[in-house]
Amino acid sequence: MIFTVAIDGPAAAGKGTISRAVAARFGFAHLDTGLLYRAVGAKGGDPVAAARGLTEADLARDDLRTLAAGQAASKVAAVPAVRAALVEFQRRFARRNGGAVLDGRDIGTVICPDAAVKLYVTASPETRAHRRWLELGGDAAQVLAEVLERDARDMGRADAPLRPAEDAVVLDTTDMTIDAAVARAVAVIDARLAARGQG
């Protein structure tokens, strides 16, 4: 069975947690596509060459979750040739047998426009910054400034900007517990599987 779930949204909206939970719930494979851009940014040097030569070891680095790695990722992600180099890998992953969840910024709009389910997970910038701060610590005002800076770059770039696909279900997690957000995502996927006769 090919069944792709596309989960897009801005930084720290809850995409990762929701993606991992629904992948476990349905037995789907999960790809955090932000990790690809983080690995390219962390490699340094020519980002296009880094994207073309990305290896498993690059993705396994333990310094990819920092604020600095997020900023570097957001910068290399604005380079069209970097994005182009990563398209095929993501599409192949999405088509794997048994179902796949991909989370990122352009999954429902560019990578998998035919995904069976598209979710756009968002929350207010203040809420997202607070969650990132709880996770990583540091100066709260600076964390908020970095969230806003990354939003502006990811939404404002010319190539594959962050925006909800027209047919995406929008999930605003600002006032939701993570359990409620996961339950809502599961309900959307259940309904789609049932509509396909696979529920």
Q: Point out which residues bind ligand DC (CB under 6 A).
A: 11, 33-34, 37-38, 70, 73-74, 77, 104-107, 150, 154
Nearer to ligand DC, 42 or 73 (CB): 73
Nearer to ligand DC, 19 or 182 (CB): 19
Q: Is 13 exposed, middle or buried (0-12, 13-18, 19+ CB in 10 A)?
A: buried
Q: Is 59 exposed, middle or buried (0-12, 13-18, 19+ CB in 10 A)?
A: middle
> Least distance to ligand DC from the beta carbon of 122, Å?
13
* Contact assessment for residue 40 and residue 51, using Cβ atoms and an 8 Å cutoff: yes
Nearer to ligand DC, 82 or 189 (CB): 82
> Least distance to ligand DC from the beta carbon of 46, Å?
18
> Least distance to ligand DC from the beta carbon of 92, Å?
15
Name the 3-class secondary structure at 80: helix
The DSSP code sequence of 63-74 is TSSSHHHHHHHH
Position of tokens 């010319």?
158
> Least distance to ligand DC from the beta carbon of 199, Å?
28
> Least distance to ligand DC from the beta carbon of 184, Å?
20
Nearer to ligand DC, 47 or 104 (CB): 104
Sheet containing strand 100-104, strands side by side = 29-32, 100-104, 4-8, 117-122, 169-172
Nearer to ligand DC, 41 or 99 (CB): 41
